[in-house]
A = this chain, B = another copy of it.
Amino acid sequence: MSVDAVGTTRRGRGARRAARQVLDTQMLPALKRGIPLTEPMGAEQIARIDAASMDILENVGVVFRDDIALADWKVAGADVRGETVHLDRGLVRELIKTIPASFTYHARNPANNLPFGNDHAIFVPMTGAPYLRDLEDVRRNPTLDDLANFHKLSHMLPAMHSSAHHIVEPYDHPISQRHLRITYSSMKHSDKTFMGMTTSPKNAEDVMDMCAILFGKEFMETHVVVTGNCNGNSPLVWDETMLGAMRAFARCNQPVLCSPFVLGGANTPASVAPTVAQLNAEALSALAYTQVIRKGAPAIYGHYLSTVSMKSGAPMAGTPEISLMNMMIGQMARFYDVPWRTSNTLGGAKTFDAQAGYESASTLMAVMMSGANYIWHSAGWNEAGMHCSMAKFVVDAEQCAMAHRMASGINWDDFDEAIAAVSDVGPGGHYLGHPHTLENFQRAFFMPEMFDNNSIEQWQAEGSVEINERAMSRAKDLLNAYEEPKMDEAVNEELLDYIARREREIPAADALNQDY
């Protein structure tokens, strides 16, 4: 027997299938919201944020550091002064109203297609970590094999609706060619939805080419098959890299997350509502630009949101103001009738300790109450995004499954039957043997597998294992049970040919030249 990447002996296909059945890897449907949203602003307060944002767009303006965008804006009728674009509120409202409120997000396996927008939500793993904490809890630079393992876990964890893209940065591959291998890894190891790289305009175009191979160019003209992220430079700047990538996506009718990158107090005012007003102005300016690029193209209201410690300058997670701002931004996105993205299970802890747990769960709960559609960074994020933890990835995904259950709302189907059981059992009895219990216990109450709820005696007898170790062990079990959802062989070969050609064209050493 050979030893595989996760250090245990390979077992046969049958054994892997059996393990998968025990592990339950069936993807959950997109969440359809069944509990109310938390909306801390009334109509008057929403109008106040909207008015402040529009004032900023008209009077302060937004810098677009990109000649094509500036030319586009002039044609669209904006007041362009140097790099600063002043956007009239009428123009902004006119442009954003063609953004679709909802669409279907397609996967290569149509069974994994997702309804998106309005009261639907999807969970997407974290991306962009320069380090990982691996299956032995070692913090190190990741490789393409590590990235593949995260894509495999994303494929197998029920609450994950996407394999995302560069969950971790594969340092063993040249940066100039990396986007090709990352995209291929997302496509190959999972048949769920995925994300496309936006690290340069040309990289984004390569992603569009690869998507065309996988889905067909014509299909992409009318169907969403990939999402990309474009970060703004708060306050009020969009740069050439992001704008070029945005054009590559929007021209192909694929949505980007228009994401101001907010460090509250550092690049926004030190106050909750004004921070939301500035962020909202930034998001609107990019959303409006997507419609200049291609009227009717899908686009997503995004943001990355942290508050900054005024003692150390460090970004914080799980703080009350982040929760409030999430709730408020959700209200603004719904006010404009645009789908929106937020960030989930963020943590600033250096290890998978209780801090990481508090931060992640606080963020998750606030996000669930806020009603985000695209719930990004839903697994693995720790150390302010500097590392992705294998253990946390597995635990976060289970937390998302629990949140999915909670936000789906109350099941009333068996109400009368269960109330009849109260009469059967009567005062002082117990329900464990009652037919209603036996029939319903599997689905009645979520039983988190990553939580240990046994007595301390039993826990000690089992080796006193804390959650970090339990989750690493679960990740190993999952990876051992992984089976690749094969692509069509011709498509696979075409993708590999494309990558080979592009790798010949792009010098490995020429990381920063965007002209290829």
Q: Across the interface, do B310 and A441 meet the contact criterion of CB distance under 8 Å?
A: yes
Q: Across the interface, do B437 and A402 meet the contact criterion of CB distance under 8 Å?
A: no
Q: Across the interface, do B60 and A423 meet the contact criterion of CB distance under 8 Å?
A: yes
A497 at the interface (CB under 8 A from B): no
Q: Which residues of B contact A453 (CB under 8 A)?
A: 309, 312, 314-317, 348, 384
A428 at the interface (CB under 8 A from B): yes
**Among A90-98, A107-115, A140-148, A350-358, which stretch is in contact with chain B?**
A350-358
Q: Which residue of chain B has its CB nearest to the CB of A325?
A: B410
Q: Which residues of B contact A343 (CB under 8 A)?
A: none
Partner of A235, one of B315, B427, B440: B427
Partner of A427, one of B236, B268, B452: B236
Asked, given contacts A269-B436, A419-B277, whether A395 binds B354 with beta carbons under 8 Å apart, the answer is: yes
A35 vs B392: C-alpha distance when bound (angstroms) = 31
Q: Which residues of B contact A348 (CB under 8 A)?
A: 451-453
Q: Across the interface, do A427 and B63 meet the contact criterion of CB distance under 8 Å?
A: yes
Partner of A412, one of B45, B269, B466: B45
Interface positions, chain A 471-488, Cβ under 8 Å from B, are none
A175 at the interface (CB under 8 A from B): no
Asked, given contacts A45-B412, A423-B60, whether A271 binds B440 with beta carbons under 8 Å apart, the answer is: yes
Q: Which residues of B contact A63 (CB under 8 A)?
A: 427-428
Q: Which residues of B contact A269 (CB under 8 A)?
A: 418-419, 421-422, 431, 434, 436-437, 440
Partner of A441, one of B270, B273, B317, B359: B270
Interface positions, chain A 79-115, Cβ under 8 Å from B, are 84
Q: Across the interface, do B355 and A466 meet the contact criterion of CB distance under 8 Å?
A: yes
Q: Which residues of B contact A447 (CB under 8 A)?
A: 309-311, 316, 319
Q: Which residue of chain B has its CB nearest to the CB of A267?
A: B430
A327 at the interface (CB under 8 A from B): yes
Looking at the assembled complex, report how far the CB atom of A133 sits from the nearest CB atom of chain B, in whole angstroms: 11
A265-B432, A386-B456 are known contacts; what are 18 more A-B pairs with Cβ within 8 Å? Answer: A35-B40, A36-B39, A36-B40, A56-B422, A237-B428, A266-B432, A273-B415, A277-B419, A307-B446, A314-B453, A316-B448, A321-B446, A350-B459, A351-B466, A355-B466, A357-B358, A359-B361, A362-B365
Binding site for B on A (CB under 8 A): 34-36, 38-41, 45, 48, 52, 55-56, 59-63, 84, 139, 233, 235-237, 264-274, 277-278, 307-312, 314-321, 323-324, 327-328, 348-362, 364-366, 369, 383-384, 386, 392, 395, 399, 402-403, 405-406, 409-412, 414-415, 418-419, 421-423, 425-432, 434, 436-437, 440-442, 444-448, 450-456, 459, 464, 466-468
For the complex of A and B, the 4 pairs showing the least CB-CB separation, nearest first, are: A357-B357, A365-B365, A320-B406, A274-B418
